[in-house]
Amino acid sequence: MRPSPAIPLTPHRLDGSQDGLRYVIRADLYRYDGATGGRSLLRVYLKEPGFRFTFWLRMAACLQQRSALRRPFYWLSRWQRRRYEIRYGISIPCGADIGPGLFIGHFGGIVVHPQARIGRCCNLSNGVTIGHMNRGVRKGCPVIGDYVFIGPGAKILGKVIVGSHVAVGANAVVTTDVEDNQAVAGVPARVISSRGSEGYVNWTDYDQP
């Protein structure tokens, strides 16, 4: 049975408004140590390259929806995102549809196609590719649900649906649909457990705008 389409449990809220931007940045921040205050923001920003990249990714994605008067700040955020993309090897475009609570624990070699969809509270590890297939029955891009852990070196390719609460093991290659609450591993990826991402995706209960 195919899993239901991976629709985030809460709207992404990155609608170009100040409140929307504040929400997603706090949700991302909360994933690192369960706090959202100013001190936590400064500490995590200085300590975690993944959050530093995500911060500017969110800024650029929000500001590109605003008026021309804000364009100087938009180009600054775009430049900062590009700078950290090159520095840390994280290729995620501004237009990517990624829910709040993104966690990048280890940077390097991360590639996300601009047409891919990722739900809330997703963990991206180093070496992850979420990519497009150009031909065949799986032509297209992945749709990934909520609370998904994607391990180091994992590849999710083509028009596949990865359900919520899924764990994708290290170096797995996913080219077929994965139901909710499954753990998959191998090449090609196969189900190895029904415990899903339990224990791997933490600090997920931030839901205040």
- Residue 200 pLDDT grade (very low, low, confident, very high; cuts 50, 70, 90): very high
Please, what sign has the CA dihedral across residues 65, 66, 67, 68?
negative
CATH number of 109-201: 2.160.10.10
> Which residues are bridge partners to 117 per DSSP?
97, 143
Residue 99: partners with Cβ closer than 8 Å, 6 or more residues away: 8, 10, 12, 118, 119, 120, 121, 122, 146
pLDDT band at 70 (very low <50, low <70, confident <90, very high): low
Residue-level pLDDT at 171: 97
Count Cα atoms within 13 angstroms, Cβ side, for 43: 10
Give the CA angle between residues 99, 197, 98 to the nearest 5°. 10
Stretch among 59-68, 88-97, 124-133, 167-176 having the lowest mean pLDDT:
59-68
pLDDT at 118 over 80: yes
Q: What is the mean pLDDT of residues 53-79?
A: 83
Name the residue ranges covered by the structural domains of the chain.
13-90, 109-201
Mean pLDDT for 131-144 is 94
pLDDT given at position 67? 57
Q: What is the pLDDT of residue 12?
A: 53
Reference 51, options 36, 62, 65, 66; nearest CA is 36
